Structure 1
């Protein structure tokens, strides 16, 4: 039975055009992504070879690239797009994604939307 491990990227900066309000649509906003992926990393545990794991740098870049040229209004739509991109390009079985948008509401530091999905859901 394959082992399942997690890789976590915390505080990944992602610049994208996002927002419902007209003033949000004038320039890109920096969002912060916390990403946890599950994958069988047992081969990498034995080989110590990056080709046997989910390359963290490639995962981070893929997430940034998936969001970079999008113009979604909602974090929910952006999250769905990013999850699909990760499942398409990486051998992960499960993803938990939290997208944090700072300074969007008066008297609120941040708004975070959290997604959790398994491959095939």
Structure 2
């Protein structure tokens, strides 16, 4: 299995546990690593066999911008669930960072890994 990357996807979102945070947009930065079988692409140039970065990015933007979140952990879970389902990903690692959340740090964040739960 190979890994497809999307790095530093920046999204403005309503996120935070404090009331004042729920009334303004804040920057989130996502890094995605997605398991994908690239061997299919080299054997078959059909565009339906590759993972479309633009469609993945649009899906992430849709999930994050259309909902209010309390925690970055919730953002990571929602994105993982959507992408695994929508693109039939066997595996995903997502890093969600919230720059400026703590004055003494560049950013805070969470990294999760999820696998497709086939029944």
Query: Secondary structure, in 3 states, of the residue corresponding to 1:17?
Result: strand
**5 Å matches for 1:45-64?**
45-64=42-61
Q: Structure 1 unaligned segments of length 5 or more: list them.
A: none
Structure 1 position 108, deviation (Å): 1.2
For residues 83 and 49 of structure 1, what CA distance do their matches in structure 2 show? 26
**5 Å matches for 1:14-25?**
14-25=11-22
Let me know the Cα RMSD of the aligned residues: 1.4
> How many residue pairs get matched?
118
For residues 11 and 42 of structure 2, what CA distance do their matches in structure 1 show? 30
Q: 1:39 aligns with which of 14, 29, 36?
A: 36
Q: Structure 2 unaligned segments of length 5 or more: list them.
A: none
For residues 34 and 75 of structure 1, what CA distance do their matches in structure 2 show? 13
Q: Which runs of 4+ in 1 moved over 2 A?
A: 46-50
For residues 49 and 37 of structure 1, what CA distance do their matches in structure 2 show? 20
